[in-house]
């Protein structure tokens, strides 16, 4: 993921939530999974997004980088933010005139090893020393870090009076992934309904994992049998045992899932705990069901539109009275034309009444019937079957 992610509604809301806590007068610990906290491109783009959002609120902001020769986190902050008369204590730093009403954004991964180890205690001290300070006059610290670098809050809570933690958990939704995929370079080897099915399948498989969505968009041909190999080569992850509903864990991952969350093996997704899409490589039945769900979401409405067109074509060819007669006399029980006539019945009418007089219509109704029946029985279509279906129905457009 790069800076594009922060244009998406969910991640953008994450950034605005951090800025909102600053307006309430609190420092913020932005907690990322370890896999993301150590990914420089992601943390850097998040810091830039935060600085931009603060700037749009007319806040004075500065990013804290590792200072050469610094012997502590306090010294690193002081050298980054203050030119003269550098403070010797945390209270002096927070209330120094040069940082009055300033926001300092620091990425833990930017600091040296000793400063990273000292960061939790430093943040704890920042929180304690902020209790009596006026929030509009003191320095505000925004720290982007992993959960192991969080300060200790009283009673094991995730926040305190002057500092809160905001977790990267359940921040990406289906519409975010759809927008992200739509903005990626496309393979252009498929078109129309075939491309729509492939895109929907990528979204259904990747879910919250935008990097996996990008991987599949670039490499997957659309053929279902190729998916296990692509998922295995991406990031092998065993399917974890998880509870599906988020329940009380809407704001952060439950303790039992913290290690899996750190590895990006599980995330919050639409009010549920959701395993990484790459875990489907080890569960062929679940993978098949996911592929089917994506195909059904796109193809069933598409099939219904063509069924309606087929119905109109039949009336044009043989007339409504003859169609009514065929549906009444040749079906047991008889089918009423004032109700929806399913594609299976229309296919039989074409076969019995029209036959070889219109081969295109006969082939289209047969393909539509077979595709509808497969999807009704939870069986996904191969890429070849989808292509044949699309080609057979081309004349209906």
Dump pLDDT digits (tens) for 47-93.
999 999 999 988 999 999 987 778 899 999 999 999 878 888 999 99
How many domains is the chain built from?
A: 3
Rounded Cα distance between 143 and 129, Å, is 16
Q: What is the pTM of this model?
A: 0.88
* Residue 90 counted as domain residue: yes
Residue segments in the chain with a per-residue pLDDT below the cut of 70: 133, 135-136, 154-158, 238-239, 241-249
Statement to judge: residues 33 and 160 lie in one domain? yes
Can you give the pLDDT at residue 1? 77
Statement to judge: residues 254 and 353 lie in one domain? no
Can you give the pLDDT at residue 155? 63
CB within 8 A of 207, min separation 6: which ones?
174, 177, 267, 269, 274, 277
Statement to judge: residues 43 and 162 lie in one domain? yes
Can you give the pLDDT at residue 131? 86
Indicate the helix (H) or strand (E) that contains 364. Answer: helix 359-376
CB atoms within 10 A of CB 59: 16
Q: Could you list the residue range(s) of the whole structural domain that residue 327 is in?
A: 285-396
Rounded Cα distance between 294 and 200, Å, is 6
Statement to judge: residues 267 and 324 lie in one domain? no
CATH number of domain containing 88: 3.40.50
Rg of the Cα trace of the chain?
29
Contact status, residue 164 vs residue 128, Cβ threshold 8 Å: no
Statement to judge: residues 221 and 190 lie in one domain? yes
Angle between helices 210-219 and 192-206 (to 10 degrees): 150
- For residue 281, whether the previous peptide bond is cis, meaning omega lies within 30 degrees of 0, is no
Can you give the pLDDT at residue 83? 83
* Residue 239 counted as domain residue: no
Rounded Cα distance between 86 and 317, Å, is 90
Per residue in 270-319, pLDDT tens? 988 999 999 999 899 999 999 999 999 999 999 999 999 999 999 999 99
Can you give the pLDDT at residue 248? 47
Statement to judge: residues 43 and 90 lie in one domain? yes
Pairing of strands 27-32, 140-146: parallel
Chain-centre distance for alpha carbon 373? 31
Name 167's bridge partners.
31
* Residue 41 counted as domain residue: yes
């Amino acid at each position: 993921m790069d800076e594009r992610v922060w244009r998406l509604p969910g991640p953008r809301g994450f950034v605005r939530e951090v800025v909102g806590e600053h307006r309430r007068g609190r420092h913020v610990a932005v907690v990322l999974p370890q896999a993301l906290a150590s990914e420089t491109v992601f943390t850097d783009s998040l810091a830039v997004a935060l600085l931009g959002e603060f700037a749009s609120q007319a806040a004075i902001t500065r990013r804290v980088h590792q200072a050469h020769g610094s012997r502590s986190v306090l010294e690193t902050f002081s050298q980054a933010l203050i030119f003269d008369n550098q403070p010797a204590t945390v209270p002096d730093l927070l209330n120094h005139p040069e940082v009055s009403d300033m926001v300092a954004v620091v990425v833990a991964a930017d600091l040296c090893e000793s400063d990273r180890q000292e960061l939790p205690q430093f943040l704890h001290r920042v929180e304690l020393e902020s209790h009596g300070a006026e929030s509009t006059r003191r320095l505000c610290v925004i720290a982007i870090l992993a959960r192991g670098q969080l300060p200790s809050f009283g009673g094991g809570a995730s926040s305190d009076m002057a500092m809160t933690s905001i977790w990267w958990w359940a921040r990406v939704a289906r519409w975010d992934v759809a927008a992200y995929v739509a903005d990626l370079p496309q393979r252009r080897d498929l078109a129309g309904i075939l491309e729509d099915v492939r895109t929907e399948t990528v979204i259904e498989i990747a879910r919250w994992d935008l990097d996996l969505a990008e991987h599949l968009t670039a490499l997957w041909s659309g053929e279902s049998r190729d998916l296990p190999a692509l998922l295995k080569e991406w990031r092998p992850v065993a399917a974890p045992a998880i509870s599906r509903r988020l329940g009380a864990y809407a704001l952060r991952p439950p303790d039992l899932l913290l290690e899996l969350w750190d590895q990006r093996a599980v995330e919050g997704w639409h009010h549920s705990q959701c395993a990484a899409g790459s875990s489907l490589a080890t569960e062929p039945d679940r993978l098949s069901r996911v592929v089917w769900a994506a195909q059904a979401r796109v193809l069933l409405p598409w099939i219904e539109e063509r069924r309606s067109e087929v119905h109109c074509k039949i009336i044009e060819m043989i007339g409504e009275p003859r169609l009514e007669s065929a549906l009444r006399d040749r079906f047991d029980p008889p089918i009423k034309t004032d109700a929806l006539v399913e594609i299976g019945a229309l296919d039989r009418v074409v076969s019995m009444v029209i036959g070889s007089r219109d081969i295109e219509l006969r082939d289209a109704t047969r393909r539509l019937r077979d595709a509808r029946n497969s999807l009704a029985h939870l069986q996904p279509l191969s890429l070849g079957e989808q292509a044949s279906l699309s080609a057979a129905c081309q004349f209906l457009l």
